[in-house]
A and B are shown apart, each in its own frame.
Chain A
Amino acid sequence: MTQSRFFSSRSATRSSADSFSRGLVGYAFAAAATLTLAGLLVFFWAPQDADQGMRQKIFYLHVPLSIAALCGFIAGGVMAIQYLRTRDSSWDLRSYVAIHLSLIFGVAALITGAIWAKTAWGVWWEWKEPTLVSFLIVFLLYAVYQPMRFAIDDPERQARSAAVYAIICGAFVPLNFMAVRLATSLVHPRVLGGAGEMPAEMRVSFYTSLIGMGLLWMALWKFELTAKSVSMRLGKLRAELIS
């Protein structure tokens, strides 16, 4: 019975379970359309970068992935605040799935970042790129979220501690970026930033990719929330039938 409280009774009610899946199909198709469009724009419309040539195309993948992951992390913190305020465990579930999903986006961002470092600077890791370094630190911090969460037995306490941790980490993200930026010698040319100086075609392609990635994040988030709530409702139904 205590176990089924993490799979909370309130989040398993029909109304909130339905709200998880609301818009899921729309997001999924919007993400598919936007990402396809973005791919076409990136490879057939945006001009080749004068200095970097083809390899600059990783930018359209790596940066939206990182931004989606970071926004997801911060959104997870905001949902955690919402949980602490309302004690509605559906917010805990939302926060958990947001952080979990952003971690996966983070893995993709780190791998594509390493590939970019390799093609741009000839090394798999570049300490002089503050954004990449900050991202690794943030990733390491969030990687502890799940182990911490599941090292707590009591489901209610688990939700509370996880929420507090998510809030601490959410506040950490911007401060950490500032600290690492300060620590990196500013002599190094910035390659990942400076979207303002790009030609219009590049900028449009980039923003299309960014929107597509955001829609993909939303779609996967709703997808996983729906899957989790369905399996919780099933578990609850089984518990009711057996008892």
Chain B
Amino acid sequence: MTAAIATLAALPIAADTGGGYVAAAYAVFVALLLVYIGIMAAKLVRLQRGLGDLQERTRKPGDDA
């Protein structure tokens, strides 16, 4: 593992131009976007559950009648 990191660090591209850092910066952006989508997905699921619950409630009186 440490050997792998050492080889990575020794790579001329990463050391000279900071390509790894650029990748990390863009990865942070994409990761945050994905986390945001995840949170919105959780909200959507909650919304769906609320809607289902409401649907149950509205159906019952109809069944009784």
Direct contact of A and B (CB under 8 A): yes
Interface positions of A (Cβ within 8 A of B): 48, 52-55, 57-58, 61-62, 65, 104, 107-108, 111-112, 115-116, 118-120, 220, 223-224, 227, 230-231, 234-235, 237-238, 241-242
A223 to B58 CA separation, bound complex (whole angstroms): 28
Do B58 and A241 have beta carbons less than 8 Å apart?
A: yes
Supposing A107-B32, A112-B29, A115-B28 touch, asked if A54 and B17 sit within 8 A by C-beta, the answer is yes
If A53-B16, A108-B29, A108-B32 touch, whether A115 touches B21 (CB-CB below 8 Å) is yes
What B residues does A111 contact at CB under 8 A?
25, 28
Q: Which residues of A contact B24 (CB under 8 A)?
A: 115
Among residues of A, the one whose C-beta sits closest to the C-beta of B28 is A111
Inter-chain contacts of A234 with B (CB < 8 A) = 47, 50-51, 54
A227-B47 CB under 8 A given contacts A54-B19, A55-B17 = yes
Q: List 15 A-B contacts (CB under 8 A).
A: A55-B21, A61-B26, A65-B29, A107-B32, A108-B32, A111-B28, A112-B28, A223-B40, A227-B40, A231-B46, A234-B54, A237-B54, A238-B57, A241-B54, A241-B58
> When the two chains form the complex, which single residue of B19, B22, B47, B57 contacts A230, counting CB atoms closer than 8 Å?
B47
B residues near A235, Cβ cutoff 8 Å: 50
Q: Is the CB of A115 within 8 A of B25?
A: yes
CB of B44 within 8 A of chain A?
yes
List the A residue with the shortest CB-CB distance to B57: A241
For residue B38, CB closer than 8 A to chain A, the reply is no
Size of interface on B: residues with Cβ below 8 Å to A: 25
What separation, in Å, do the CA atoms of A17 and B22 have in the docked complex? 40
Provide the residues of chain B in CB contact with A107, threshold 8 Å: 32
Inter-subunit contact B47/A54 (CB<8 Å): no
Bound state CA distance, A221 and B41, in angstroms? 15
Residues of the A chain whose Cβ atoms lie less than 8 Å from the Cβ of B19: 54-55
In angstroms, Cα B28 to Cα A107, docked, is 10
Q: Is the CB of B44 within 8 A of A119?
A: no
Residues 36-55 (chain B) with a chain A CB within 8 angstroms: 36, 40, 43-44, 46-47, 50-51, 53-54
B22 touches A54 (CB 8 A): yes
Return B48 CB to nearest CB of chain A, in Å.
10
Is B22 within 8 A of A57, CB to CB?
yes
- A62 contacts B51, CB within 8 Å? no
Within the complex, the shortest CB–CB distance from B33 to chain A, in Å, comes to 8
Cα distance, A224 to B47, chains bound together (Å): 13
| Residue from A58, A112, A238 in contact with B50 in the complex, judged by beta carbons closer than 8 Å | A238
Residues of B within 8 A of A104 (CB): 32, 36
Given contacts A53-B18, A55-B18, contact A112 B54 (CB under 8 A): no
> Whole-angstrom distance from the CB of B41 to the nearest CB of chain A?
10
Cβ B25 vs Cβ A116 within 8 A: yes
Interface contact A61-B47, CB-CB below 8 Å:
no
